Structure 1
Amino acid sequence: MGEDGGGRTPVVATGRTATAGPRQTWAGLPWLVRTAVTWSACLVVVVIGLWLLGKVAVLLAPLAIALAGTLFLTALLDPVLLLLRRLRVPAAPAALLTILLLLGVLVGLGVLVWNLTASQFGELSQQLDQGLARSRDFVTSTLPVSDAQLDRLVQQTRDGLSGSAPDPVGGARTAAEVAGSVLLALVLLFFLLKDGRSMWRWVLGRTTGPNRTVAAEAGRVGWRTLGSYSRGTMLIAAIDAIGIGLALVLLGVPLALPLALITFLGGFVPIIGATVAGAVAVLVALAANGPTTALLTLGAVIAVQQIEGNLLEPLIMKRQVQLHPAVILVVVTAGTLIAGIAGAFVSVPIAAVTWRVIDTVQRHREDPAPTV
């Protein structure tokens, strides 16, 4: 009996040792190693999740862009819809009138720009040729580059551009996808304007208890953020376009209205859009009127953008959609790589709304409402 008992005791001890061994080994590791392993595992999971999400977004890029654009336009046009609803206009006619107003503004603006600037394109072509000739003389006179070397470089650039010309079949497919996305966005825009609030109430009806409170608050904050971003960005872009457009008119730069329109569109892509639009304006001024006007245009662009960035944007945007410039650059770059220009337009509002929703949910978890 004692021998059997003695035989059983090591078995039990061995089992405990086998069970507690990995825990003791993990606990015996230095704190820094345990922390590094834990964070590395979490990082791997996050990277894999983001990679899968990116693959899905690429496969469904037209649909994703249409949905993002629809939400952006819905938040932008929501005050117009509410005004029509206060005037006792039914939901469906109010949504239709709001969309027709949007299309009318876009078409009218395009026709106005074309009528005012169509005659200037031929003149601009000649001025660009003169500007290129002056630039060529400047390069060959100040740099150790001969005319033959410059001609060879220009020819290589032309060959590279012609070799990378888009495939007609691929271009037709892209055009069809863009047309389909625009049509889908318009249809979705009508339904969201007409039934968006009832859809949201239906979603809230599927949640119960504290989750409903959190979902309602997160949705409210996210929608407010998207509305603030869309209307604030449009206002800031319009101010940039007016300021730079007036400077171009005063400096006698041709095609001031199209350049102002490019500045307005570039305002919807933070940091990068304004830089590209300003560069286009400076290049046109250089080609048309020479380096002095180009420098004055550069100064005007920098002044307008500094006033907008340091004074108007904090005043208009408040703290609703503040993101660090580094985050904006990463988000815009990622959106451009995934979906091109359309991705650059929608990436920042998506990131801003996502951050505000996550922050709201986290604050509710840290400080839950007291239960009665």
Structure 2
Amino acid sequence: MPGWLPRAMVMALALYGCFQLGSWAFDQLIGLLTNILIAFFLALAIEPAVSRMAGRGMRRGLATFVVFLGVLIAGAGFVVLLGSMLAGQIVDMVEDFPQYLDSVINWVNETFRTDLSRVEVQDSLLHSDWLQRYVQNSATGVLDISTTVLGGLFRLLTIFLFSFYFAADGPRLRRALCSVLPPARQAEVLRAWEIAVDKTGGYLYSRGLMALISGAAHYVLLVTLGVPYAPALAVWVGLVSQFIPTIGTYLAGALPMLIAFTVDPWYALWVLGFVVVYQQFENYVLQPKLTSRTVDIHPAVAFGSVVAGTALMGAVGALIAIPAIATLQAFLGAYVKRYAVTDDPRMHSSHRWSRGEPVLTRIRRAIRSRRERDREG
């Protein structure tokens, strides 16, 4: 046996063991790493506001706390508005349930010539076996729901804690990172960091402004039509339509259309028409002006990045996909050399072959000239 073979086998086993240990550690820490990634992008988003407040003399930690307090207040207000809308709808459904049940029973009696009564139906439902099993399963699932809620709160607290430290200690973090790199690499890291801050913050701020405009426009429409829960629906439309690209407007408009349909079916058509018209106004007038200096990426690239982010990381990937792609595009654009495009007619969409001649005419001329050459030959 060669003398190097035992050492090679030990080295291979050691590498395999390290790989297995690393895979196990990554699987165990994937949740924490995802939370850190979300916290990092959140810190990048609030970095411009924190730096601006710190530049005016406020301590960076206090500025970060003020920004986070505003974010928490806005998030709590959104949850309260949607919660009040859902609670109101549930209360109305519970109050109107006897009327719905009477109408269904009357339709069944008239259609199938039966003699049902609401009291009999209610007694049969209350004493049915499937309802008792459902109640038992719900009672046993309360602990699981409580665990899920507590886990979500702990994850949210972890994200806010890491993002607070990333934003408050941003300059110190950059100095610590650059201290282990040569000067040339330090400039590249700082440039990439600056691009990430500009793109992430610009994306969120531009989307927030468009969400405000969209929510205000839909609020005016819903109030004019007399649709209930207009503030909550306007906030829903503004946020969902802006933070889900391409199809977010239509997904967000489905809920106001459903609520408007309960008031008057024609109101749902009015809401649908307004959503379509506002989408065109946003795509061709509002969005180019607000996002041309922040995240100027093609809509197809944006939609594809969201799909890819969702496939890789779920909802988290969908949220951070667009600023990540915009950062990568801007960073690569700083190093990719571009050349002037030649003035060739084929570069224009209105190009026609052979100085404006149709292609068919050109083919016929070629066939005719070939026949003439054959005759001469």
TM-score category, normalised to shorter length: 0.5 to 0.7
List aligned pairs for 1:160-309, cutoff 5 A: 174-266=148-240, 267-286=242-261, 288-309=262-283
Shift of 1:207: 2.6
1:363 and 2:330 matched: no
CA contact (8 A) 1:218 1:357 kept: yes
| Offset from partner CA, 1:132-169 (integer Å, 9 cap, x none) | x99xxxxxxxxxxx9xxxxxxxxxxxxxxx9xx9x777
CA contact (8 A) 1:81 1:94 kept: yes
Q: Whole-Å Cα distance in 2 between the matches of residues 354 and 187 of structure 1?
A: 26
- 1:209–1:74: structure 2 CA closer, same or farther, 3 Å change rule? closer
| Offset from partner CA, 1:156-215 (integer Å, 9 cap, x none) | xxxxxx9xx9x7776555444422321111111221221112212332333324333333
**274, 297, 306: which one pairs with 1:332?**
306
List aligned pairs for 1:1-372, cutoff 5 A: 62-111=31-80, 119=88, 121-123=90-92, 174-266=148-240, 267-286=242-261, 288-360=262-334, 362-363=335-336
CA contact (8 A) 1:58 1:339 kept: no
Q: Which amino acid aligns with 1:254?
A: P
Q: Whole-Å Cα distance in 2 between the matches of residues 128 and 331 of structure 1?
A: 44
Q: Whole-Å Cα distance in 1 between the matches of residues 98 and 323 of structure 2?
A: 40
CA contact (8 A) 2:45 2:197 kept: no
Secondary structure of residue in 2 paired with 1:75: helix
Q: Which amino acid aligns with 1:198?
A: R
CA contact (8 A) 1:238 1:264 kept: yes
- 1:91–1:209: structure 2 CA closer, same or farther, 3 Å change rule? closer
Q: Which amino acid aligns with 2:254?
A: A
Shift of 1:61: 5.2
CA contact (8 A) 2:85 2:232 kept: no
Which 10-residue stretch deviates more, 110-119 or 206-215?
A: 110-119
- 1:109–1:279: structure 2 CA closer, same or farther, 3 Å change rule? closer
CA contact (8 A) 1:117 1:257 kept: no
Q: Whole-Å Cα distance in 2 between the matches of residues 72 and 123 of structure 1?
A: 41
Q: Whole-Å Cα distance in 2 between the matches of residues 308 and 57 of structure 1?
A: 42
CA contact (8 A) 2:40 2:163 kept: yes
Corresponding residue of 1:157? none
**Rg larger for:** 2
Shift of 1:265: 2.6
Q: Whole-Å Cα distance in 2 between the matches of residues 129 and 68 of structure 1?
A: 50
TM-score normalised by length of structure 1: 0.64
Q: What is the alpha-carbon root mean square deviation over aligned residues?
A: 4.4
- 1:312–1:238: structure 2 CA closer, same or farther, 3 Å change rule? same
Q: Whole-Å Cα distance in 1 between the matches of residues 98 and 307 of structure 2?
A: 33
Count of residue pairs brought into register by the alignment: 295
Shift of 1:234: 1.1
- 1:328–1:284: structure 2 CA closer, same or farther, 3 Å change rule? same
- 1:214–1:75: structure 2 CA closer, same or farther, 3 Å change rule? closer
RCO higher in structure (CA 8 A, sep ≥6): 1
Shift of 1:216: 2.6
Q: Whole-Å Cα distance in 1 between the matches of residues 99 and 34 of structure 2?
A: 41
CA contact (8 A) 1:248 1:256 kept: yes
Q: Whole-Å Cα distance in 2 between the matches of residues 244 and 303 of structure 1?
A: 12
Shift of 1:245: 2.1
| Offset from partner CA, 1:207-249 (integer Å, 9 cap, x none) | 3243333333222222211111111111112211221222112
- 1:118–1:346: structure 2 CA closer, same or farther, 3 Å change rule? same
Structure 1's consecutive aligned runs of 4 or more residues displaced over 6 angstroms after TM superposition are 55-59, 124-131, 167-170
TM-score normalised by length of structure 2: 0.63
- 1:255–1:127: structure 2 CA closer, same or farther, 3 Å change rule? farther
CA contact (8 A) 2:50 2:63 kept: yes
CA contact (8 A) 2:249 2:275 kept: no
Shift of 1:113: 6.0
Q: Where in structure 1 are there 5+ consecutive unaligned residues? A: 1-54, 135-145, 147-161, 368-372
Shift of 1:336: 2.8
| Offset from partner CA, 1:325-354 (integer Å, 9 cap, x none) | 333223222333444433322222222223
Shift of 1:252: 1.6
Q: Whole-Å Cα distance in 2 between the matches of residues 274 and 264 of structure 1?
A: 8
Q: Which amino acid aligns with 2:255?
A: V
Q: Whole-Å Cα distance in 2 between the matches of residues 128 and 345 of structure 1?
A: 39
Q: Where in structure 2 are there 5+ consecutive unaligned residues? A: 1-23, 104-111, 113-133, 340-377
